[in-house]
């Protein structure tokens, strides 16, 4: 009985762990997609070349120093580079096969997502935009709109 219970518990634990992992992966990718779209829009509006996404820009220090625009461009490129470099399932699978790899710290997903969030917040500050553009705020706002209109049926408001 006990062995059967342990086996059943282990199987259920694996299933729950897999489901939680898939949910978190979807949330991370949803968040990264939001940031990437927002940043690419800002870059396009400012006339930046978004084809250079992920390229490390060289610091061109003029006699006047680094301008606000230079810092903004560096942050946009850094943010897009970080998003593009976020590990995929292939990277994670490869890392699990190569346990001796010294790059395992690069696969610390919570640390990487926190760095990306911090860069995004810095970008909002540099642009003078309110923090209401954060994904969490937008989703909370949408959720409260939907809960207020949940009784409305077909007239539910799905605007962002």
Burial class of 145 by CB neighbour count within 10 A (0 to 12, 13 to 18, 19+): middle
The 10s digit of each residue's pLDDT in 43-99 is: 888 888 765 544 444 444 454 567 888 888 889 999 999 998 888 776 666 666 665
In the chain the first and final C-alpha atoms are separated, in Å, by 53
Is the pTM above the cut of 0.85? no
């Amino acid at each position: 009985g006990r062995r059967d219970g342990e086996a059943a518990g282990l199987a259920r634990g694996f299933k729950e762990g897999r489901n939680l992992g898939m949910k978190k992966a979807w949330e991370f990718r949803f968040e990264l997609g939001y940031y990437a779209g927002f940043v690419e829009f800002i870059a396009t509006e400012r006339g930046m070349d978004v084809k250079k996404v992920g390229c490390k820009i060289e610091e061109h220090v003029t006699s006047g120093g680094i301008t606000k625009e230079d810092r903004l461009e560096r942050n946009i490129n850094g943010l897009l580079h970080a998003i593009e470099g976020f590990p995929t399932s292939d990277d994670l699978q490869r890392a699990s096969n190569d346990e001796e790899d010294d790059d395992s710290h690069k696969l610390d997903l919570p640390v990487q997502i926190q760095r990306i969030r911090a860069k995004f917040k810095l970008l909002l500050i540099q642009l003078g935009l309110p923090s209401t553009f954060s994904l969490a705020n937008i989703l909370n706002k949408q959720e409260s709109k939907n809960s207020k209109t949940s009784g409305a049926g077909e007239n539910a408001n799905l605007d962002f």
